[in-house]
Structure 1
Amino acid sequence: MGTKEQLLCLLESNRERYVSGEKLAEAIGVSRNAVWKAVNALRAEGYEIDAVTNKGYALSQENDLLSPQGIERFLPRDHPFNLIVRKLVDSTNDEARRRAIEGAPEGTVVVAEGQTAGKGRRGKEFFSPTATGIYLSIVLRPALQADRAQYLTTAAAVACAQAIEHVAGKQASIKWVNDIYCNGKKVAGILTEGAVDMESGCFDHAVLGIGVNVKPPAEGFPAPLGDIAGSVCDADEKALRNRLVAEVLDRFWGLYRHLPDRSFYDEYRRRCFLLGEPIVITRDESRVRARAVDLTEDFKLVVELPDKTRLELPYGEVSTAHA
């Protein structure tokens, strides 16, 4: 790490107190002038760093910029992730996929402040304004048949819901199969993509993308998202995005390590608010009314049609009947 990165790491680990320029210089092994230059370089990137005579420097409690140092502060020391944080990318999933093709190891994580072409399911765009959300993608190399990709998505949904509740204190539920809701509004979405070995039917690699609306955009959500989308926190909420990224990653990895066990099934089912509700299934360009009655052990949604016929949906677009 360079001087700037080492300085940010020290400021993150001492976020609640000031550290003198002398101590910072000694810890990094550079001059105090080099520390001063690094402070100014970080400020130019948007970091709010307070400076007080005879006390030193401190990272402002209001600072909410994403950084590897800020995320690692909340991860276990032996975490398996290689964190890559960017200001702006086309899509974290696309960036992670490019890195996976180039041989990036499992656990490579691409995090971005914003996306210019954020991806949702079925070719939809995921609204990704800068500085108000978290957008991350994880490179995975699971020993998993491609027809069980739903395990990745559902494990991520549970991890994301748990993380939101733990960090923001908001009750989070899951709309089958990949959306997280708080207070009746969609606050997060998950997209799993991958490349499959045609001989084995297993993944060569998978990319798991998670996007969370942490705070409302300054100009609001564009139509027609205004009636659907919400955010985890209010606009005046203090910094928590780095902590939320870490919490999502840590909780997902705990489930991923034992993915075939599906130990998260009961919690996924408990949080799945469509069960027992009238729904609308969108197929091609047609809409079919049904009722969601159950969830199979491999996360297919069991629906009952008006003629009492039951179907198991492995994936699809569904919504509540009154939506």
Structure 2
Amino acid sequence: MNEPLTTEPPTPLDELLGLLDLERIEEDIFRGTTSQPVLVPRVFGGQVAAQALVAAGRTVPADRHAHSLHSYFLRPGDPAVPIVYTVDRIRDGYSFTTRRVVAVQHGQPIFHLSASFQTHEEGLEHQEPMPSAPDPLTLPTAAEMLPHYARHLGGQDVVERILEARGAVDLRYAEEPTFARVGEPREPKSQVWFRTNGKLADDPLLHICLATYVSDMTLLDSVLLAHGRGGWAIGDVVGASLDHAMWFHRPFRADEWLLYDQESPTSQGGRGLARGRIFTADGRLAVSVIQEGLIRVPRGR
């Protein structure tokens, strides 16, 4: 009897790419059958946004690329059951295509996304300069940094869960993260460098979807910095993404270093607003992001 062929186990990036490879169950209906590991008992918002954009993009001609998305998180997602994505073909114009996507679980919408796609055009061009930031290769990886904060985070098991949840992405903090100096308000600005832990195919939609996935990881941290709060992992705030908007300005690769420059102009009414800019390593402004999140302080904290 022949010995079975051995195969390498899938990497975290392989698993994430599998997560984004939605099953088409009807012409404009798709299904995501698994969910990434998370620290809280709900589906990670970046996953839902990225999957919804995949669903929209699969109904759009290949020569049109996503230039913006606007979305609302309506209900917490259940990581134990599939998510069904229904695409509504709102408009197919001469140079623009618009799609609306509704994500459904347990018969109820949990997420709503509108995305616009455009054929390439030449036009006027300018951008803000890239802010200064340390070289990403001089910064510690998450696996090198997080164990030093195990006590702050509540133990090594929490560190391991964070590393598992972010295993597909090499994300490096330019400065100390929120949970490093709890109780010490700081300027509401933060920077991280990120890239996928492995090479990606050349499909532009894939790179945009991976950036969408990562964009929800750290954006609200800038809100917490203003108040000296450590974040969701240590439980001194309770929060969730409410809405999320992105504009894709210039081509980029998510498997090459990207600088995510983030800040918070305001928080009030149990909500915090954060905005971010994603730059390529050579200084091109690739993406703009704005998000509002629910941020509540538990009683006694």
Fold similarity call, TM over 0.5: no
Q: Point out the structure with the larger helix share.
A: 1
Q: TM-score, normalised by structure 2?
A: 0.24
Q: TM-score, normalised by structure 1?
A: 0.23
Q: Point out the structure with the larger strand share.
A: 2
Bigger relative CO (Cα 8 Å, ≥ 6 apart): 2
Q: Quick check: which has more Rg, 1 or 2?
A: 1
